[in-house]
Amino acid sequence: MRGFMRLCAARNRSTGRPAAGTGAQSLAPSTLILLRHGESQWNRENRFTGWTDVPLTDRGRQEADRAGDVLRDAGLLPDRVFTSVMTRCVHTVWRVLDRLGRSWTPVDKHWRLNERHYGALQGLNKEAAARMMGAETVRLWRKSFSGIPPADAGAPAQLRRDPRYSRVALADLPATESLEMTLRRVMPYWQHAVMPQILCGSTVLVVAHGNTLRALAAFLDGMPHDSLAQLHIPTGVPAVYQMDAAAQVVSRYVLNIKK
């Protein structure tokens, strides 16, 4: 706790905010920005992507640039960025920070912010999968909180051969995930890495994936699980959360992107 308070004090000195513990309110309000990466090649092809590492399309790169422009125009300049280890997210971060003129901003990358693992569905066209396995079954796998797609039993061992995951415990690498399992994977990183920055009053940008952000948005907004089927996170559109000193959501809005 003392280390955390020193971190907040150093952060507040650099921004001119009152240092933690020196006033009636020890911590400062903050801003959280959630941004889904720009369109990827498999988004365009309507395929289940999950942990498959695919690049941005030309449109995806343009979406990242526009997101950076609209954040700059709104005066939302991140102090810290958190993202996954997937190329589509990393490249989105690069382009956003470049448009903001803040390429020096600290960026933390972590596998816990990766997209939901879609198991044996990864690589399949979504419409073709619905025809093969039943539209309602696939809809529940995709949109419900607890629906678990068929597992790819060999996925954890295959992922472990990737240098990004070589030090991750084999038991932590997924063979498939529901949205609920994705949220459980994300939360330890949220609590130990992202939340301390929010509690210090930082402007925090999280660049992640559709389902990772669905899970986080449901958590932040206190959404009932049965309403998650209607929650869609578009590519390249920043959602802004104003947080109070206790890291509770005060307001939420989406920045308008001109296509």
Domain containing residue 91: CATH number: 3.40.50.1240
Q: Residue 2: its pLDDT value, please?
A: 47
Q: Is the pLDDT confidence value at 259 over 70?
A: no
Q: What pLDDT digit, counting tens, does each position of 214-223 carry?
A: 999 999 999 8
In a domain, 72, yes or no: yes
In a domain, 128, yes or no: yes
Q: What pLDDT digit, counting tens, does each position of 99-112 carry?
A: 999 999 999 999 99
Round to whole Å and give the CA distance between 157 and 134: 29
List active site positions. 37, 115
Average pLDDT over residues 112-136: 97
Find the domain containing 180 and state its range: 27-254
In a domain, 14, yes or no: no
How many other C-beta atoms are found inside a 10 Å radius of the C-beta of residue 9? 18
**5: confidence class by pLDDT, cuts 50, 70, 90:** very low
Place of tokens 């971190």: 7
The total domain count for the chain is 1
Q: Is the pLDDT confidence value at 163 over 80?
A: yes
In a domain, 78, yes or no: yes
Q: Is the pLDDT confidence value at 21 over 70?
A: no
Q: Residue 160: its pLDDT value, please?
A: 97
In a domain, 50, yes or no: yes
Q: Residue 28: its pLDDT value, please?
A: 72
Q: Residue 8: its pLDDT value, please?
A: 63
In a domain, 224, yes or no: yes
In a domain, 209, yes or no: yes
In a domain, 245, yes or no: yes
Instruction: Compute CA distances 99 → 28, 142, 175, whole Å.
Output: 27, 33, 37
